[in-house]
């Protein structure tokens, strides 16, 4: 490595993306799409929490599933 690279490298600004998209093919519900965001604990980078947010079509499928399965209103509100 060049001395120039060694001086530059510690100052580079290339954050890793902590968000993205997830597509699933569910046997019953069919095509599902989610956006996700990941939170990472600075003091322990191996610990992460990922939250999935359904798009409108996926949200509607999940709500119908809850209605059919007889879930309570409180549980249904988790997807609103």
Domain boundaries, the chain: 17-79
For residue 13, what pLDDT is reported? Answer: 60
Q: Is the dihedral of CA 10, 16, 18, 19 positive or negative?
A: positive
CA nearest neighbour of 39 among 57, 13, 9, 19: 19
CB burial of residue 58 (10 Å; 0-12, 13-18, 19+): buried
Three-state SS for 37? strand
**How does pLDDT run along the chain (80 residues), one tens digit per residue?**
788 888 877 776 655 667 899 999 999 999 999 999 999 888 888 888 999 999 999 999 999 998 888 765 555 566 55
The reply to whether the predicted model has a pTM over 0.85 is no
Three-state SS for 10? helix
């Amino acid at each position: 490595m060049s001395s120039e690279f060694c001086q530059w490298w510690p100052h580079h600004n290339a954050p890793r993306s902590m968000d993205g998209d997830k597509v699933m093919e569910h046997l019953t519900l069919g095509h599902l799409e989610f956006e996700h965001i990941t939170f990472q604990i600075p003091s322990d980078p191996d610990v992460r929490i990922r939250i999935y947010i359904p798009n409108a079509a996926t949200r509607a499928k999940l709500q119908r599933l809850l209605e059919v399965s007889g879930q309570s209103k409180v549980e249904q509100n988790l997807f609103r």
